[in-house]
């Protein structure tokens, strides 16, 4: 069975948590596409060469969740040649047999516009900054400034800007518990699988 779940949204909205939960619930493979861009940014050097030579070891680095890696990812993600190098990798993963969940910023709009389920996970910048601050520490006001700066860059870029797909279910996690958000995501996927099974 080929079945793709595309989960998009800004940093610290909860899309990674939802993606892992959906993948686990349905036995689908999971790809955090942001990790691809984080790994390219973290490798340093020429970003295009880094994207073309990405390995599993690059994706296993333990510094990919840092604020610095996130900022580096956002900077290299605006380079069309980097996006092109990573595009085919993501599309092959998405349409592999057995089902796949991909989370990122342009999965439902650019990478997999034919995805069977599209979710857009969001939350207010203040809530997202607080979550990131709890995770990483530092100065909370500075974290909020970085979140807003990254949002502006991701939403304003000419190539594949961050936005919900027209047919995406929007899940705002600002005031939702993790369990409630996961339940919404799982219900959306289950409903689509039921429709597919019914033919």
67-102 per-position pLDDT tens digit: 888 889 989 988 999 999 999 889 989 998 999 999
15 marked as part of a ligand binding site: yes
- Overall pTM surpassing 0.75 (yes/no): yes
The reply to whether 34 sits in an annotated binding site is: no
Do the annotations mark residue 113 as ligand-binding?
Answer: no
Contacts of 159 (CB under 8 A, 6+ apart): 78, 80, 83
Which sign does the torsion angle of CA 179, 181, 184, 185 carry? negative
Residue 14 marked as a ligand binder: yes
- pLDDT of 114-128, one tens digit each? 999 999 999 999 999
Number of domains observed in the structure of the chain: 1
Is 129 assigned a ligand-binding role in the annotation?
Answer: no
Q: Is 60 annotated as a binding residue?
A: no
Tokens coding 101: 């969940």
Q: What is the CATH number of the domain that holds 75?
A: 3.40.50.300
DSSP string across 45-84: S-HHHHHHT--HHHHT-TTTTSHHHHHHHHHHTT-HHHHH
Domain that holds residue 102: 4-198
């Amino acid at each position: 069975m080929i079945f793709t779940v595309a989960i998009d949204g800004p940093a610290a909205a909860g899309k990674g948590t939802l993606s892992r939960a959906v993948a686990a619930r349905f036995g689908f493979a999971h790809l955090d596409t942001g990790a691809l861009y984080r790994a390219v940014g973290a490798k340093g050097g020429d970003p295009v060469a880094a994207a073309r030579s990405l390995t599993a070891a690059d994706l296993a680095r333990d510094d990919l969740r840092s604020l610095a890696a996130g900022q580096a990812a956002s900077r290299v993600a605006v380079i069309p040649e980097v996006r092109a190098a990573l595009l085919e990798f993501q599309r092959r993963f998405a349409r592999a047999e057995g089902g796949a969940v991909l989370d990122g910023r342009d999965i439902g709009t650019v990478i997999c516009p034919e995805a069977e389920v599209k979710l857009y996970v969001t939350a207010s910048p203040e809530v997202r900054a607080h979550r990131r601050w709890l995770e990483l520490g530092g100065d909370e006001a500075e974290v909020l400034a970085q979140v807003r700066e990254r949002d502006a860059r991701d939403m304003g870029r000419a190539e594949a800007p961050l936005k919900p797909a027209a047919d995406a279910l929007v899940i705002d996690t600002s005031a939702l518990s993790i369990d409630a958000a996961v339940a919404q995501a799982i219900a959306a996927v289950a409903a689509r699988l039921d429709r597919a099974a019914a033919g």
